[in-house]
Structure 1
Amino acid sequence: MRFIAAAAAVVLGFSLVPAQASAETTGGEVRPVRSVDLERYQGRWVQVAAIPQPFQAQCARNDGARYTLLPDGQVQVVNSCTRADGTTTSLEGRARQESPDSTSRLQVSFVKIGDTWNFDRPGAYWVIGLDRDYRWAVVGAPDRRSGFVLARTATPSRKDVAGMATALLRNGYDLCAFKITAQDGGAPESVSLCPVS
């Protein structure tokens, strides 16, 4: 297991961070970036690493999302992944701005009633790190219970990975809560960033 984690980390350029070192960074506020150009943000994103979420339990590899800006200003979200049996599954949702003046704090819903998306209990989708060329993004939430590291490719550069890690640490995330996502052409296995010795 330790070898697999190290191999995945090398593929992605991650440095495995000791639990005590990353735990020291927790605390303070989660701060979204100033703004996001939603037109540039749309398109396909590959999940590089994430805090495992219940809705991803069926996923074995190739987690990713496609975002499409709609005429009404909402964003169509289509999450997809490959199951252990090799089949692909997907889930559609909608995201909208939390407030008219914030493009970096979104609310997301995967609940549709009739023709209407239900935002009674939306999930928080805060962009807390973003490459100036939109090559990578880091998404979090105020309670830090979710976190997603996204890139346009399954093999982001070491410089990009350093930017992603900095965004997580700056927002008080424990890197050891994240698992590298297995991707065809990227990390070979889904493993923790901080494997137990």
Structure 2
Amino acid sequence: MKQSTALKIAAGVAAAAIGGAVLYSRATRPPVINKKVPEPAKPVDLARYLGKWYELARHENRFEKGLDAVTAEYALLDDGRVSVINSGTLNGERSVSEGKAIIADEVTNAKLKVSFFGPLYTGDYWVLDHGDDYDWAIVGEPSGRYLWVLAREAVPPSALAQKVMKRVEELGFDRWALRITRQG
């Protein structure tokens, strides 16, 4: 076989593999539940945002599929980045993912870039809104495919949970597309 033919075959295989990966990636992303994701509603006091959060609901995604008892813990690192530890339970087994975030919008602290897979891949993390007392938060990103509803308590009072879900709708998200997270 000529070298140019071998190179064409290799290039074709590589293109097919990349194309397949792109199709796979697109096929595994959740559908859009908000075509016009709003900018974050207010600034974030990072010191008050840090700590442990319990997931109340989320738009189901492949990296959290089926997880319950989901928590997120944020801590400030010496270098100014934020440590992110997400964990959840599936079939009695605890799964933990550790990442790091940087502040992407230093004016409001409401937009971060988070990486769980090293510096080559970062995702947007926007605190779209939060309680004045930092007792709840709604987190998303600009594509409208991902959304998390968080609270400081594993099972917050019903009135607070209803208030937050109403706010989810006010921000333009389909609350009925969310999966309620079972805690405890």
Q: TM-score surpassing 0.5?
A: yes
Q: Which has the higher contact order (CA 8 A, sep 6+)?
A: 1
Higher helix share: 2
- The 1-side partners of 2:85 and 2:57 are apart by 18
Amino acid across the alignment from 2:105 = S
Stretches of structure 1 that go unaligned for 5 or more consecutive residues are 1-24, 113-117, 185-197
CA RMSD of aligned residues (A): 1.8
Q: Stretches of 4+ moved more than 3 A in 1?
A: 25-29
Alpha-carbon distance in 2 for matches of 1:56, 1:179: 11
Greater CA radius of gyration, 1 or 2?
A: 2
Q: C-alpha displacement at 1:96, in angstroms?
A: 1.1
Q: Is 1:78 aligned to residue 85 of structure 2?
A: yes
Q: 1:63 aligns with which of 67, 70, 92?
A: 70
- Equivalent AA in structure 1 for residue 104 of structure 2: E
Does residue 53 (structure 1) correspond to residue 61 (structure 2)? The answer is: yes
Aligned counterpart in structure 2 of residue 110 of structure 1, from 116, 119, 139: 116
- Whole-angstrom distance in 2 between the partners of 1:29 and 1:51: 14
The gaps in structure 2 that reach 5 residues or longer are 1-32
Aligned equivalent of 1:96, options 91, 102, 117 = 102
Question: For 1:35 and 1:105, how far apart are their aligned partners in 2?
Answer: 9
* CA distance 1:148–1:81, change in 2 (3 Å): same
SS in 1 for 2:63: helix
Q: Amino acid of the residue matched to residue 171 of structure 1? A: L
Counterpart-to-counterpart distance in 2, 1:73 and 1:166: 34
The CA distance in 2 between the partners of 1:107 and 1:163, in whole Å, is 28
TM-score when normalising by structure 1: 0.71
What is the 5 A alignment of 1:111-190?
111-112=117-118, 118=119, 120-184=120-184
Q: 1:95 to 1:163 in 2, by over 3 A?
A: farther
CA drift at 1:171? 1.8
- What TM-score do you get using the length of structure 2 for normalisation? 0.76
Using the alignment, how far apart are the partners of 1:50 and 1:58 within structure 2?
11
Task: Name the count of aligned residue pairs.
Answer: 152
